[in-house]
Each structure stands twice: as structure tokens, then as C-alpha cells.
Amino acid sequence: MIKVENLHKTFGKLEVLKGINCEVTEKEVVCVIGPSGSGKSTFLRCINLLEEITDGAVYIGGAQVNDPKTNINDIRTEVGMVFQQFNLFPHMSVIDNVTMAPMLIRKMDKKSAEELALELLDKVGLREKADNFPQQLSGGQQQRVAIARALAMKPKVMLFDEPTSALDPEMVQEVLDVMKALAKEGMTMVVVTHEMGFAREVADRVIFMDGGYIVEEGLPSEIFANPKNDRTKAFLGKIL
Amino acid sequence: MDFLFNLRWDIIWNYRELFLQGIWITIVLTVSGYIGGIILGVFLGLGKTSKKKWIYWPCKIYVDLFRGTPLLVQILIIHLALIPTIFGHSLGVMFSGIAALVLNSAAYNAEIFRAGIESIDKGQTEAARSLGLTQGQAMRKVILPQAFRRMVPPLGNEFIALLKDSSLVMVIAVNDILYAAKVVAGAYQKFWEPYLTAALLYLILTFVVTKIVAYVERRFSIDYNPRKNKGGRVAR
Ligand SMILES: Nc1ncnc2c1ncn2[C@@H]1O[C@H](COP(=O)(O)OP(=O)(O)OP(=O)(O)O)[C@@H](O)[C@H]1O
Ligand SMILES: [Mg+2]
């Protein structure tokens, strides 16, 4: 589903990703963990080309995203992304947030787009908030709308960048529950997270990143129970 | 204060048609200059947010040029040098006057548009692009609708500024309000009456415009919250 080959990313002189290789198969849930500044967000953002790729290649469903001949907009419709800061569109109601892209890009008519949106809002438990505006919702609710918005494009892959880090503690669980349900349905997911409980429970594989490298990866049970790399040990020691 | 009672307001009355025409000309100048300035300003402003150097730099140079030089100088150059050079002859003072106001206010509007666009959080563009919207679609559907609300107050100020600045085209003998005052002053060698009249007329016009701007601001600078903005203006 996703294949990353020797991915390098530099910001000016700063090399943030120093050769990432990784593959995510269909229906797999991969959690990416690691200290702040290790390049987790950058890695995720390179997958749908929100960051330009300096060197290497990323493939999604066989298409190389950083090939100039690829239409990146087409690929992005297949890759949903959920941001730490939700990034809902504040000038649109909740339902308009969800229907906008399907209507604009998939050329869905308003009625079927709204049916789809209500179905998805139902799924994230927010059907009754359809006509509210984002700033009338709590952080957790906003993030669930953001998930519904991404799902409305019927993506094949979902990328999450610390989806619960900006939330008050009591709202974290409601978002994680939605993500869990999504994983159970067989969505392919790459999740950058500090929620080790979630990683342990839901992930098929955990990737530990540090200093622009994938330092260690494996089953959550292995990584959490007996990490092999010293840096992984140090990181988990601090966080668990 | 004696002189106030000796003022000859009858001479203004004698020239009322010239003043009425002046009001009309000032309105035409300001409104055309404003509309043209907004249209051109949108493109310049978008250009100034462009990452492409060949788009960015011409727009930046244009804006800096027009903001960095006096409007009066621009009017003279456009009327006496630029237009005759391009077209071989003058296209009339009104054309030159409007052209100068359009070109000048476009530079100021460009900055308003640029600042408005750049004030919208980068996450908004990213969210839109991540859904598969093109840069243009993201601009139209997500960025501009939000930026527009923030642009309304400065664009309103720009309208009022332009109204007053339009008096500078008198220098190329466009028959606006100030021109009428000058004619009367010349005819009677009296200065208080005509220039006070001109000042008063500008004051009335700016007052009316201020009211219009305030109304538009109430309509558009609203919060996105439908329940709260029923009552009109909403404090954030
Ligand atoms: N647009 C940018 N320009 C310059 N440097 C950047 C940019 N984005 C990220 N960086 C730098 O790249 C490095 C990795 O950043 P990144 O956001 O990928 O880390 P992260 O692992 O997601 O950290 P966190 O857990 O804090 O979110 C950091 O040193 C950061 O300062
Ligand atoms: Mg990050």
C-alpha cells in the first residue's frame, strides 16, 4: 500500500530524514513513536507530499508520489490526513466541512454528499452536530469531525499526526475509540502518537524513530516488552 | 471672527453647478479607482504570495514602486509621460486620473490582500490540499472566504483614503470638487468660501462612505457562529 524507499528530507541545511525505508501493507496499522524533533511529522507529511521530498521515493498503491508525472491531487484523494490541530474549516458548518471535498472533487451531488456525511458523522458520534460550526465543538469533537471529513473521500490510507496531542486528557479517549473502530474495519493507518496504550493495543507494528532514522521496528509486544536498541530503551523508559 | 460674517456665500451659489459636477466627478474617480484598484490588487496580492520568483518579483517591484512614491508624482508621470508615450497622445485627463488612482490603490490593496491571505493559518491550506484540492481550489474554497472577512476593514479604510487622495488629480485639471473651488477662488480672488466649501463637501462624502463601510463591515466581518451573529456585530 505504502512503500518508502531511502527517503531523505532536508530543510535548508538541516537533514531531518536520513534515509527512511519502510513498507505498510493493506489493512495494516502502524504506529510511529519517537522523541520530539525526530522527524515523525516530516515523515508522515512526505507520504502525501505536504513536504517536498528531497531524495528517495514514496509509492502509494504503486504510484510514485514524487514523480513529476504523477498527479499528486489524485493521490491525495486516496490518502486521508488528520492533523494535531484539527484544521477544520471555521467558515463552514460541520456538515459542509465533510461534504466540501466530495462535492468539489468527486463531483458528488449535494444530496448524496450529505447522506454520506451524516453517515460518517454518525460513525464518529456527531450526527446531531451537523449544523454546528467547528468552534462550537470541543477539541475532541472537532477532531472526530476532522476524521469524518478525511473519510468522506473514501481514502485507502489514513495518516494521523498526533491526533490527540492537542486535546484535554478527558477527550483523548473518544478520539482513540473512533480510530480503534476504524482500524477494526480494516483501514490502513499510519499513526504518529504518544499514546502508548493505543499503540500497544491497536498497532500491528510499531516504528521507533530517532534523529531522522527508523531505529527499531517490530510488533508492539516486542518493542514495548524488550526493546533492543538503547535509544528505544531510553525513550520508552522516559515515557512509560 | 468678524470675517466669518462677511463671507460671500453667494459666489458659491453662483457656481453651484460647477460644484455639483465636481461632486459627481469625485465620486466617479473614487468609485472607478476603487473597483479597478481592487481587481488589479487581487492579482498583485496573490502574486506576492506566490512562491514562483517570476511572479513574485514583478508584483513586489510594482507594489514597492507605487507605495514608495507620491501619488502626485505618479499622476503627473502617467498623464504627461506614460500615456502619451504609449498611445502617442493624451486620452483625456479623466482617463489619466482614473488610471493613476487604479494603479496607485492597487498597490495598497495588494498589501491588504497579501496580508489577509497570509493571516490564514497554514494548516487550512494543508487540510484542503490533503483532501485533494488543488492550490486554486484551496484558495477559492478555504483561504479567500476566510481572508476576505479580515480584509473588509482595511479595504474600507482604503476607500476613504482614496476618496481624499482623488483630490490630487486636480493637478492635471480634472474637474472634481477641488477644481471647482480653484476656479471660484481664481474668479473672485476669494479663498475662504470656495476652499471651505470643498472641505465641507469632502467631509460629507467621507461621512457617507464611513457609514457605508461600517454597514459592510457589519455584514461581512461576522463571526462564523450562526447563533451568535443574529444580533449583528459580534465581538470575538
Ligand atoms: N518547515 C520546516 N522548516 C524547517 N525545519 C523544520 C520544518 N519542519 C520541521 N522542521 C524541523 O525538522 C525536525 C523534525 O521535525 P518534525 O516535526 O518532523 O518532528 P517530530 O518528530 O514530529 O516532533 P514532535 O514530536 O515535536 O512533533 C525538527 O528539528 C524541526 O525543527
Ligand atoms: Mg510532530
* Residue B233 in domain: no
Asked whether the predicted pLDDT for residue B163 surpasses 60, the reply is yes
Ligand 1 binding pocket (C-beta < 6 A) is: A 11, 14, 16, 34, 36-42
- Percentage of residues in chain A having pLDDT higher than 90: 98
Angle at B97 between CA B59 and CA B30, to 5 degrees: 85
Does A80 lie at the interface with B, CB-CB under 8 angstroms? yes
* Residue B7 in domain: yes
pLDDT at B229: 39
Nearest to B130 among A76, A91, A136 (CB): A76
CATH of the domain at B151: 1.10.3720.10
Structural domains of chain B, count: 1
* Residue B94 in domain: yes
Residue A212 Cα to ligand 1 midpoint, Å, equals 10
Question: Hey, what CATH topology would domain A2-237 get?
Answer: Rossmann fold (3.40.50)
* Residue B87 in domain: yes
- Percentage of residues in chain A having pLDDT higher than 70: 100
* Residue B180 in domain: yes
Q: If 0-12 CB within 10 Å is exposed, 13-18 middle and 19+ buried, where does residue B23 land?
A: middle
C-alpha cell at B42: 487581487
Does A129 lie at the interface with B, CB-CB under 8 angstroms? no
Are residues A79 and B127, on separate chains, in Cβ contact within 8 Å?
A: no
Across residues B18-42, what is the average pLDDT? Answer: 96
* Residue B231 in domain: no
3-state secondary structure A51-110: CCCCEEEEEECCEECCCCCCCHHHHHHCEEEECCCCCCCCCCCHHHHHHHHHHHHCCCCH
CA atoms B173, B177, B180, B182: torsion sign = negative
Helix (H, G, I), strand (E, B) or coil at B92: coil
Domain that holds residue B10: 2-219
pTM of the model: 0.83
Q: In 3D, which of B61, B27, B51 has the Cα closest to residue B205?
A: B27
Does B142 lie at the interface with A, CB-CB under 8 angstroms? yes
The pLDDT tens digits of the residues spanning B60-72 come to 999 999 999 999 9
The pLDDT tens digits of the residues spanning A70-81 come to 999 999 999 999
In chain A, which residues have their Cβ closer than 8 Å to the Cβ of B226? Answer: 93, 133
* Residue B230 in domain: no
pLDDT at A206: 96
Q: Cα separation of B128 and B60, whole Å?
A: 27
